Amino acid sequence: MTLSPRRPNKLPTIEREFEFLDRHFQFLRQLAGKHAGINLTEAKRDLVYGRITRRLRALKLTGFDAYCDLLTQQPHEELGDFINAITTNLTSFFREPHHFDFIRDHLLPNWRATRGAAPRLRCWSAGCSTGEEPYSLAMTLLDALPVAACHDVKILATDIDTNVLAHAAAGIYGLEPVLALSAPQRRRWFRRGKDPHQNHACVVPALRQVINFLPLNLMDSWPMKGPLDLIFCRNVVIYFDKPTQRRLFDRYAELLAPDGHLIIGHSETLYGVSDQFELVGRTTYRKISPSEGSQ
């Protein structure tokens, strides 16, 4: 019996709709880093191709050369859509519920004990995506406070992606994610939508009134002056390199009140990035006061 020579294994060739050369990827990654601080690593190459291919089809462009030319010649027309396309917006109501438990069980009692029954609260949801995070925060605060104490609760919700921000400001969601909430929360904070949103749930005006939605690139100047009591920045800095993360956390520390808190995502850490915070819970940090830092 004669054995045939073994053929070497070959990886299948990936057929692409559009030619995507290294110079295209390098141009796009540099643009993302310059304008949004986003660090597009080599591992993101296929993601960039898939996301931007949708833009090519939408714009009826012939390929990545034409798209890069568009970003070079008319950046104000396409840059926002480019950043929107490469960012990921995965969220849900009360995602990482331990954060909201910490606010309800620890932060709110402390704020009320030190500031009175109707504390002035200023919070920021940075990278709010389609709004589930700031609405969850608002429900946590308003459910735990007496009605008379809710008038001075304000939440700023920002995102670089103007499309998801518009979704958030509208406060209209499919029934399935809302059904994951408790029955009391659904009754208090949502109403069944009417035409053309009859298969949706709408956030009640009282909840929307405590939140101000604003488009914001974290790499730009910030309009708010502070001091803030709480900042949510979850699953945002994973897009940034370490120097950008350090600058961002320094800016957060400047904006927070002396007893302010910062909450980050489950896969993120301040270890080796910032020494201005101490860990007080699962990915929950308290700002260290200057006197503590000098000890």
Show which residues are catalytic: 51, 159
Instruction: Please list the residues that pair with 278 across neighbouring strands.
Output: 286
- The tokens for 105 are 């069980």
> What single DSSP character describes residue 282?
T
Q: How many helices (DSSP H) and strands (DSSP E) are in the chain?
A: 13, 10
Q: 217, 272, 273, 284: which is closest to 249 by C-alpha?
A: 273
Q: From residue 262, give the alpha-carbon distance in Å to each of 55, 139, 201.
A: 35, 19, 30
Q: From residue 236, give the alpha-carbon distance in Å to each of 158, 173, 229.
A: 12, 23, 19
Q: What interhelical angle do 64-73 and 22-36 show, nearest 10?
A: 30
Q: From residue 226, give the alpha-carbon distance in Å to each of 118, 124, 139, 270.
A: 19, 10, 22, 22
